[in-house]
Structure formats: structure tokens, C-alpha cells
């Protein structure tokens, strides 16, 4: 009985932490335009909570910001996205850091507002088709 209670409590703590992470990331999105530094702090805080509670951010959450400099990502504004050998390559314009994600066949996993992503990908794809061996 004692053990079960402990487990229940632990689950609740995790759930609250997950909610907090979600809230912090949406705050980061909201403040990005007006206060990028504050936005960064929200992301660092979200990461810290995840680390403390041993929670992994989900795929969508991880893609929302740059792992290296914690900048909230706005495709076409502070980062660009390329598709290379079924890997999504995101380059951050702030720190120049690159992140890789496997490209899933399910288009809707990339993001709800993926029109921009798709355009970017089509563009880089056609570049490869034209035979650009060293794209840059």
C-alpha cells in the first residue's frame, strides 16, 4: 500500500512537470517576438524541469527550439530547414548549430503549420535534382 501511494505521487509530479514544460514552451513562443531573451529563459527553464523530473521532451517540443542556444525557432526567420537523405536538417541562424531529425513519412508529424516546411523542402530537393553536389 505504501509503495503504491509513492508511485501515484510520482506520476502526479511528472504530469505536473509535463504541463509546466508545455506552458513554458508556449510562453517562449509568445514572448519570442517581443523579448527573445525572456523567451530563451522559458526554454532553459522547461529543459531544466524535464531534466530534474527525468522527462524527455516529445518530438514536437524538441523541434520548437535550438538545443545549442535555446532560441525559439521560426523557420525562414532564424533558422532554415533542409531535407537530406530522409533526414531533416535544421540550421540555427543565431548560433549556427545544426540539428538532425529523421524524416517521417507521415507529413503531419512535422508540424501543424508545415506549409513553410514543405516549401523549404521542395526548394532544397529541386536543388539536389539539378545536381548540386555541394549545396550551400
Residues in contact with Zn ion, total (CB under 5 A)?
Answer: 8
Distance CA 72, CA 45 (A): 13
From the list 6-14, 38-46, 59-67, 124-132, the region that binds Zn ion by CB under 5 A is 59-67
DSSP 8-state class, residue 99: E
Among 45, 55, 69, 74, binds Zn ion (CB under 5 A): 69
2 vs 7, 8, 15, CA distance in Å? 9, 10, 20
94 binds Zn ion (CB under 5 A): yes
Distance CA 32, CA 13 (A): 28
Q: Nearer to Zn ion by C-beta: 17 or 95?
A: 95
From the list 14-22, 32-40, 60-68, 80-88, the region that binds Zn ion by CB under 5 A is 60-68
CB of 93 to Zn ion, least distance (A): 8
Q: How many CA atoms lie within 13 A of 79 on its CB side?
A: 27
Considering only residues 6 to 45 of the shown chain, the ones binding Zn ion according to CB under 5 A are none
Amino acid at each position: 500500500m505504501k509503495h503504491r501511494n509513492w508511485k501515484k505521487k510520482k506520476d502526479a509530479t511528472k504530469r505536473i512537470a509535463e504541463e509546466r514544460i508545455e506552458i513554458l514552451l508556449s510562453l517562449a513562443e509568445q514572448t519570442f517576438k517581443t523579448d527573445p531573451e525572456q523567451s530563451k529563459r522559458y526554454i532553459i527553464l522547461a529543459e531544466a524541469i524535464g531534466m530534474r523530473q527525468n522527462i524527455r521532451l516529445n518530438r514536437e517540443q524538441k523541434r520548437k527550439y535550438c538545443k545549442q542556444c535555446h532560441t525559439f525557432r521560426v523557420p525562414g526567420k532564424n533558422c532554415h530547414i533542409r531535407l537530406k537523405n530522409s533526414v531533416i536538417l535544421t540550421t540555427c541562424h543565431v548560433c549556427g548549430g545544426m540539428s538532425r531529425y529523421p524524416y517521417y513519412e507521415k507529413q503531419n508529424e512535422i508540424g501543424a503549420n508545415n506549409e513553410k516546411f514543405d516549401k523549404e523542402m521542395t526548394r532544397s530537393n529541386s536543388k539536389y535534382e539539378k545536381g548540386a553536389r555541394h549545396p550551400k
